[in-house]
Amino acid sequence: MRHFLKFTALLLLTALLLWWFARGVDWARVGGEMAGTNWLLIAAGVAVVCATYIVRALRWGALLAPVARAGWRELLAATTVGFGAVFLVGRTGEVVRPSFLPLVDSRVSPSASFVTIGVERIYDITAVVVLFAINLIWFRAPGGDPEAYAQVRRAGFVLLVAALAGISGLVLFRLRGAEVIRWLDARLERAPAGVGRVGRFLTELLDELRRALGVLTDARALAVTVGWTVLLWAAIAVANWFVLRAFNLPFGAGETLFVLGFALVGSLVPTPGGAAGAFHVATARGLTFLGVAEAKAAAVSIVLHLVVFGPALFIGLYYFLRSDVKFSRLRGAARDAGGEKGRAAASSRVGFGREGKASASAAR
């Protein structure tokens, strides 16, 4: 019932944001803008987005390396199935990706899968913040409100400082985390049985995170994962640029990264349909900030949303149907991951591969 109410609330939020996005827009002009689009450039953007799933899968494998080994085909399948779920149900579908991988590759435990997705999110947030903030150093919005632009710049630099501080904290945890975990384990030995069980699960999860963060202190692993991240976000920026150019917008790298920053803020809102409504409102705001007419901004936002989120739905469906994972098993794994009890069970649960027989720990 709680999940139903939450999803209903998100649907209502989606409807409200879409209404906000659509109000006052001349839809006849929006249709005209779409009719004049260069669909070859749109197709190029879709192709680049599809390529990013391969890059994401390879980077995920590199992030998993300190704690587990996984096949790149299984990683690609889990990546596309997960992003397809995000398109359907919003950010709540993010648990599908780390839930799906242990079901198709028994060498990966659920805890390792979830922890590395968390590390991946750190990489992505840092990459976006750094790109957006550095771009603001020399980029100036043509014709924009100077005071509003100054506020955007301040926000960008605050996020940059916060991201760098967060990375520093994670590096420190990687270096000193073992001592912290030993200290906690010693205290848990004298704790009541119930508290001890929950505490041991948390310390095991912290140790899994500490091991996964080895990519931050190993020069080779850091170079590999940062390299994949740079390639990933360069490709995403190129895909966005293709869509902007398809609408005859004379934008270069600075404008593209500026709009990308707004779009990514919108994509963080957990509404169904791949942040539907929030993505459109934020992207259109970034475009109008650069002097783009309202109708064209609306048209670009709609097409860009489909290009960024749409391909995973079809590719993910293909990989899901090819796997032997039943929807009920995936739903159960994702549901378990949403609660504390499910996460505790995940640390010892049998990980199912294609044959559904070997446990993750035995496989390693």
Q: State the pLDDT at residue 355.
A: 36
- CA 73 distance to own-chain centroid: 19
Q: For residue 164, count other CB atoms closer than 10 A to its CB.
A: 14
At residue 224, does pLDDT exceed 60? yes
pLDDT tens figures, 103-153: 999 899 888 898 888 888 888 888 888 887 777 777 776 655 677 667 777
In whole angstroms, what is the distance from residue 296 CA to residue 301 CA?
8
Q: What is the DSSP letter of 358?
A: S
State how far the Cα of 174 lies from the Cα of 165, in Å rounded to an integer.
Answer: 14
Give pLDDT, residue 7: 73
**Count of C-beta atoms within a 10 Å radius of residue 319:** 21
* Among 145-159, 261-275, 327-341, the least confident range: 327-341
Whole-number pLDDT of residue 227: 94
pLDDT at 30: 93
Which of residues 95 and 153 earns the better pLDDT score?
A: 95
Cα 141 to its chain centre, rounded Å, is 27
CB of 251 closer than 8 Å to CB of 231: no
State the pTM of this model: 0.78
Mean pLDDT of 51-57: 97
In this prediction, residue 208 carries a pLDDT of 73
